[in-house]
Every structure is written in C-alpha cells, then in structure tokens.
Copies of this chain bind each other. A is one copy, B any other.
Amino acid sequence: MSQSPLDSFRASNLTSAVSQELTQALGNKISFAMGAREQAAQTVTHHQPQLPDAVVFAQNQEDVQTLVRLCNQHKVPVVARAQGSSLEGHTTALQGGVCLDLNAMNTILEVNQGDLDCRVQTGVTRKQLNEHLRDTGLFFPIDPGADASIGGMAATRASGTNAVRYGTMRENVLGLSVVMADGSLMKCGTRARKSSAGYDLTRLMVGSEGTLGIITEVQLRLYGIPEATSAAICAFETTQGAVEAVQLIMQMGIPVARCEFLDAVQIKAVNAYSKTNYPEEPHLFFEFHGTDAGVAEQATMAGEICADFGGKGFQWTSDTENRNKLWQARHDAYWASLALRPGCKGLPTDICVPISRLSESLLATRAAVEASGLTATMVGHVGDGNYHLLILLDENSPEEWHAAEKLNAQMVEKAIAMGGTCTGEHGVGTGKKKYLPLEMPSALPTMASIKRALDPNNILNPGKIFDLD
C-alpha cells in the first residue's frame, strides 16, 4: 500500500457524541467513511490536502442550516465545497471538521426573462446554467475557465475572460441566501437593479470564501445573447506594444467583450501542441459583442490601434467556425502549457495591476521567470490588468516548488507596490494569506472584527483569508 499524505490525519476528531448527534439530525446525508472524506479532500491544486472528519451531502437549505447550527454548538469547523475547482486551497479542511458538499443543491429555481435575472441553488454550475438558458436568448457571461458552481464563484468573487465587459461576480450577483454561523437563514439583496437600502451584505458575502456564511441560493444578472460576435487576433513585436494597444482601446471606450494576452512562450507551446504556426511573439485575442455593424466597427477600430503599436497581421471574423479557429491558441493554452513538460504539475499565479503598469509588470515577471530557471507560460485578461503564469513543475522537486513560491512572491510584491492586488480572481484561501498584510495592512483588523462578529466560534472555513489571533 502506498503511503498517502492523508494517512497522518485519518483519525476523526469528532467526539462520538457529536458524530451521533449529527447522524441523528442528518441521517444518511452524513458520511464518516474514509472514501468520502478522501474524495472531499481532493483539489485540483498543489495545496496539501487535509481530511475532514465527515462529509455532509446537503440536499437543501434546511440541511445546511441543521449542520451549521449543530457545528456551531459544538465548535466544529464547516468547510463548504462543490466542484472543488478553486485554486488557492479554499476547500482544505485545515482544522478538520465537516466538509459540506453542496453539489446536490443544483436546481435552477427561476429564470425571469423580462428582468434578465435568475435564481439558482448554490451547486448549479455555470455550464449547466447556460445550457438551461439556451432557448431563452439569454446567457450568463462569467467564465472562470473551470465549470465551477455558481455558489463557489460567488464565494471566491470569480471572473475570467468576459469580465472586461460584463464585470465579475461582484457586479453580477443581485442577491443571496446565506446560512449564517448560528444556522439562521439570511437573505440579502433584491431583484431591483439597484438599491441604496442599508449595508451591501451581498457584496460582503461575495468573496468571503465561506468564512462569513454558507451561500445556498444566488440571484444573478443575465444578458441577452448578442446579435453578433466577432473575434480577432494580432501578433506584436513587443509586449509593451500589445499592452499599449489594449490601454488605448480601453481609453477609447471600445466595449471589448474579451481581451486576452498570450506571451511568446505560450504561443510556442500552442504551436507545438496544436501543430499551428502562429509567429512566436506576444499575441492579443479579442472578442466583440454587439450588432453586425457594431462588431465590425469595433474590430476595425481595434485593428487600427493595434497597427499603431506594432501589431502585425490583425485578422478578424464574425463567422462562428472561423472565430473558433482564430481563438484556437487561446482555447488550447492550458493543455499546451502542460504538454511543454509532460508529467509536470501546473502552478497558476494571479495578479492584477493598474493597466498603466501592466507592461512593466509583465516584463518584470518574464525576467523573473528566466532568472528562476523555471518554465512558465503567461496568459492575461489584460483589459482588466490581470494575468497568470502557469509554472510547470516537477512534483517531486522541492527545489522547483521553492523557486516557484519565490517567483510567485516576487510577482505579488511588485504588483502590490504598483497599487495592484495579490489576487485578481482566484481568491486568497490559504495560498495568498501571507500577502494580505502587505496589500491591506489597515483593512485586516476590520475584516477580523467582522469575522468575529458574524462567526464568534470561528467555525466557518477557519484559517482561510486571514488568521484570527
């Protein structure tokens, strides 16, 4: 038998009295079986998995309330999860306790076509929602890559490629139902498009990573599927040229729907993986949404601006099939990166800076990669100033992990010094905890006060975002 990293944590920390009480309340929705606990500990990331003591498969809001109320009484941690696609160790049971699996709460409760909104249970995934919406002429634009749950996306304030046009989960959650630490159900927000009624608890819960409450239902904004979509691609001599083009496009108010940067190493990886022959230079990929005339005009204007900054071979199309071909490199980027070094593990970084500092940030990061001796590709949601390295590591090399951590720290520290953030869209979890004191030293005491006020026993995803003294 192979030695699992989980072995040392196999013993459940729940007393038998607590286990019994939970079982009495939740019946066969709770499992103490090793298989379920091991599965709940799995994540897609490099963060060390840790076994929860039990797993609850909630079927409805009342199950969540029951569990949280009992856990609060007995001071047992509750760590919510659904798809487990978060990237910074958000679902790790750092202090054991109960993993709350929300996947079964996946009902789309209502779609209001006339109001461009819907209400879903927390475990509904974004692809499931868009599939459901297909015949309504509406869509939900936030696309973090993974087929994450809507509740998880809200909890981590997710965004992705479309954020430059449609905003992040911050802008697209209208209201929430949240189970609070005492097991009570709190509803915040309304179906109105705007409101000045009291504290914005919706926004406080969005991005709170399960530490202030468990999101059970989400009211979302939807959008009409645009009449026309066009895609464009352009190679650049320099990273600086590409970024300056983006900056002017944003200043001109051209309403780009997507604006993605791939660096030369990433393009090289795609050429090798997809047998394409893109020039091995920095590239921008655009998508435009609007009317037929509008997307043509947007693409033409973007093309002219790109040419002014050393862009070469700008191509655009509004034909669906050709759009997919144009964007192939972007679609293949992740797998192409991993294929650069077969068997490797990918460590993603995630910073966001003011766009005026973006080119400086990208160049400094690329230089830091070279100096580190590591292999890494670079992809950016550059309209927002947000980008990622995917650092390709030998899982068994502590030296490489150490170098990658150092590289990540360099990126983050420089981003913060530029007025940016340690995480544009992945969240803090455990991975970015150490950077918050650098980014927002004076805000942490306020966050801690709120945490203590809303979760006095520190049962909700303890040890995430920041540590309480």
Spell out A's residues near B (CB within 8 Å): 112-117, 137, 156-159, 163, 167-168, 170-171, 180, 184-188, 190-201, 203-204, 206-208, 212, 223-224, 226-227, 247, 250-253, 255, 289-291, 293-294, 297, 301, 352-356, 384-386, 415, 419-428, 432, 435-436, 439-440, 442-447, 449-450, 452-454, 465-466
Contact = CB atoms under 8 A, between A and B. Distances in A.
Contact of A195 (B167, B355, B421, B450): B421
A179 to B, nearest CB: 11
Most buried by B among A196, A199, A206, A449: A196
Contacts of A198: 207, 428, 436, 440, 443-444, 447, 465-466
7 contacts: A112-B356, A114-B356, A116-B250, A137-B251, A190-B352, A192-B385, A449-B453
Closest 6 CB pairs of A and B: A203-B203, A453-B453, A114-B356, A191-B419, A195-B421, A192-B352
A190 B355 contact: no
B159 A194 contact: yes
Contacts of A187: 440, 442-443
Given A190-B352, A192-B386, 17 more contacts: A170-B194, A184-B442, A188-B440, A190-B420, A192-B419, A193-B352, A194-B421, A194-B425, A196-B423, A197-B435, A197-B436, A198-B428, A198-B466, A199-B465, A203-B204, A446-B454, A450-B453
A297 B171 CA distance: 27
Most buried by B among A170, A212, A432: A170
Contacts of A224: 251-253
Contacts of A290: 253
A446 B180 contact: yes
A466 B201 CA distance: 15
A428 B196 contact: yes
A212 B384 CA distance: 30
Contacts of A212: 199
A290 B388 CA distance: 32
B207 A204 contact: no
B424 A158 contact: no
Contacts of A207: 196, 198-200
Contacts of A170: 194, 200, 203
Copies of the chain in the assembly: 2
Contact of A200 (B112, B157, B386): B157
A417 B52 CA distance: 42
Nearest to A180: B446
A422 B163 CA distance: 30
A193 to B, nearest CB: 4
Contacts of A453: 449-450, 452-453
Given A170-B203, A253-B223, A158 B196 contact: yes
Contacts of A206: 200
A34 B467 CA distance: 49
Most buried by B among A198, A223, A354, A439: A198
Contact of A384 (B156, B193, B200, B443): B193
Contacts of A452: 453
A157 B189 CA distance: 14
Nearest to A452: B453
A185 B446 CA distance: 11
A353 to B, nearest CB: 6
A356 B432 CA distance: 42
A423 B195 contact: yes
A208 B197 contact: no
A192 B421 contact: yes
B355 A193 contact: yes
Given A198-B447, A223-B253, A354 B297 contact: no
A396 to B, nearest CB: 30
A171 B172 CA distance: 11
Given A196-B207, A354-B117, A439 B190 contact: yes
Nearest to A206: B200
Contacts of A194: 159, 163, 168, 170, 352, 384, 386, 421, 424-425
